[in-house]
């Protein structure tokens, strides 16, 4: 709903609700609430970290000054979110960047800065095809299943598992879940704090559905 639809004489105005949400995100961070829900999922053994999938997605938006940029790939202006999901498609970390950012620089922060734990294997598409990326993950004890791009004189990777790579559809499904929320289908918030708060609220709802 629109913020002004929350106006009621018995309570604070809709603008006050909006300001408080931004304050909670900046001061405390709704990410901590997401961590609490993820801990519940981990205790109930509903998180499968044997395999994890990573992918980036662009949320179209107006050209705001706060973390937006033009994506040549999508030919749109927006905000990039890099999402990490477990084997079942439950999101357990997300990183924000401007729209022109490539998925590769966001990969390591998305994988390393999660509060759940280290996944056993990372499944990704050709956009993450990088020997340096594979080497960094291998140093941290994480296996990879990433197809190679068709580049001349490039050594072929023999250990790519095609049936295992088909599991990557779960990250695409999770990105569709995230964009199914009206405020995340298109970014209307000119500050990143408001957009982050609404994104974390969406992730919390998705994770709560796994608990219930």
Three-state secondary structure call for residue 102: coil
Which of 27 and 205 is assigned the larger pLDDT?
205
Instruction: Assign domain 3-151+162-211 to its CATH superfamily.
Output: Ribonuclease H-like superfamily/Ribonuclease H (3.30.420.10)
Band of residue 151 on the pLDDT scale cut at 50, 70, 90: confident
- Secondary structure (3-state) at 84: strand
- Is 90 exceeded by the pLDDT of residue 159? no
Cβ(178)–Cβ(156) below 8 Å: no
What is the pLDDT, as a whole number, of residue 132? 92
Task: Check whether 1 has a pLDDT greater than 90.
Answer: no
17 φ, ψ (degrees, to nearest 5): -60, -40
pLDDT at residue 94 tops 70: yes
- Residue 158: the pLDDT is 60
Q: d(Cα 97, Cα 106) in Å, to the nearest integer?
A: 8
Residue 109 has pLDDT above 90, yes or no: yes
Q: Distance between CA 26 and CA 23 in Å, rounded?
A: 5
Dig out the tokens for 190 from the structure.
């000119």
Task: Answer yes or no: is pLDDT of 150 > 90.
Answer: no
- Spatial contact of 207 and 34, defined as CB atoms under 8 Å apart: yes
Mean pLDDT of the chain: 91
Mean of the pLDDT values across residues 132-150?
92
Q: CA-CA distance, 171 to 127, in Å (whole number)?
A: 14
Residue range 25-61, pLDDT digits in tens: 888 889 999 999 999 999 999 999 999 999 999 999 9
């Amino acid at each position: 709903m629109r913020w002004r639809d929350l106006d009621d004489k018995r309570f604070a105005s809709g603008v006050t609700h909006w300001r408080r949400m931004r304050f909670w995100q900046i001061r405390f961070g709704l990410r901590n609430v997401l961590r609490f829900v993820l801990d519940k999922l981990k205790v109930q053994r509903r998180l499968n970290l044997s395999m994890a999938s990573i992918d980036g997605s662009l949320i179209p938006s107006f050209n705001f000054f706060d973390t937006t940029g033009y994506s040549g790939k999508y030919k749109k202006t927006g905000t990039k979110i890099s999402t990490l999901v477990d084997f079942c498609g439950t999101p357990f970390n997300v990183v924000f960047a401007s729209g022109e950012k490539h998925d590769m620089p966001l990969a390591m922060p998305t994988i390393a800065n999660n509060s759940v734990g280290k996944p056993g294997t990372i499944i990704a598409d050709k956009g993450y095809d990088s020997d340096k990326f594979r080497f960094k993950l291998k140093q941290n004890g994480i296996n990879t299943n990433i197809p190679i791009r068709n580049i001349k004189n490039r050594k072929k990777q023999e250990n790519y598992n095609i049936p295992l790579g088909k599991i990557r559809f779960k990250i695409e499904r999770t990105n569709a879940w995230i964009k199914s929320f009206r405020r995340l289908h298109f970014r209307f918030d000119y500050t990143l704090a408001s957009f982050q708060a609404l994104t974390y609220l969406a992730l919390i709802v998705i994770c709560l559905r796994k608990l219930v």
